[in-house]
């Protein structure tokens, strides 16, 4: 008889693939070890990886990996085998994530700064003041029709009813107001 099978542990221990010397005959036994020792493995991996989330991810990856492997025989310490497999998978994930982060960071370094400089900010403030001045210089009815359309998002039909006008008259007022504001602000119509 083999020395391992005559150890001081109970017969039931070796049949379940105990880490002290059992020899699982299939992946099903390694999966059983993973399930049975999950809490212990999670604690050990959390300490090793310094992250309970990384440890849980590593154990999940270990389960998936074990499910996809061909049968493994003669694993003398199944708990140690599963623990080492989880560590290796966690390290592989960290390396993969680090490469992805370094690529993303290098791409970000090449992007231009989107923040306007003080000169552009001051120019934008002046343009807004000019636009509000031009809007306030409009006759009140034209201004109210324009704001009803562009600020409030009302349809031409709603504006026509609210101001007691025909829809076509609202369209004309909006077109004339837009042209007037564009000419005051020095903007050309796109398209």
DSSP 120-189: HHHHHHHHHHHHHHHHHHS-HHHHHHHHHHHTS---HHHHHHHHT--HHHHHHHHHHHHHHHHHHHT-PP
Number of H helices, E strands in the chain: 9, 0
Higher per-residue pLDDT: 100 or 84: 84
Here the tokens at position 12 are: 């039931």
Closest alpha carbon to 169 in 132, 147, 141: 141
CA-CA distance, 23 to 177, in Å (whole number)?
A: 86
80 phi, psi to nearest 5 deg: -65, -40
CA torsion through residues 163, 169, 170, 174, sign: negative
Instruction: Compute CA 58 distance to the chain's CA centroid, rounded to the nearest angstrom.
Output: 20
Provide CB contacts within 8 A for 173, sequence distance 6+: 142, 145, 146, 165
Among residues 120, 118, 101, 97, the alpha carbon closest in space to that of 109 is found at: 101
At residue 105, the 3 state secondary structure works out as helix
Q: What percent of the chain has pLDDT over 70?
A: 77
pLDDT at 115: 76
Confidence of residue 120 (pLDDT cuts 50, 70, 90): confident
Q: What is the pLDDT of residue 103?
A: 61
pLDDT-based confidence at residue 76 (cuts at 50, 70, 90): confident
Mean pLDDT of the chain: 81
């Amino acid at each position: 008889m083999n020395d391992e099978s005559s150890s001081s542990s109970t017969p039931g221990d070796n049949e379940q693939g105990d880490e002290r010397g059992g020899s699982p005959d299939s992946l099903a036994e390694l999966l059983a070890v993973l399930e049975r020792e999950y809490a212990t493995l999670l604690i050990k991996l959390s300490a090793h990886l310094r992250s309970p989330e990384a440890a849980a991810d590593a154990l999940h990856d270990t389960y998936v990996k074990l499910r996809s492997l061909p049968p493994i025989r003669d694993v003398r310490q199944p708990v140690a085998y599963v623990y080492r497999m989880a560590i290796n998978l966690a390290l592989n994930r960290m390396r993969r994530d680090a490469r992805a982060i370094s690529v993303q960071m290098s791409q970000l370094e090449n992007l231009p700064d989107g923040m306007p400089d003080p000169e552009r900010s001051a120019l934008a403030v002046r343009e807004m003041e000019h636009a509000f001045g031009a809007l306030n210089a409009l006759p009140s009815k034209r201004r109210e029709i324009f704001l009803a359309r562009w600020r409030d998002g009302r349809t031409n039909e709603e504006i026509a009813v609210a101001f007691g006008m025909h829809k076509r008259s609202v369209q004309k007022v909006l077109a004339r107001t837009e042209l007037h504001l564009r000419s005051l602000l020095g903007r050309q119509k796109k398209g």
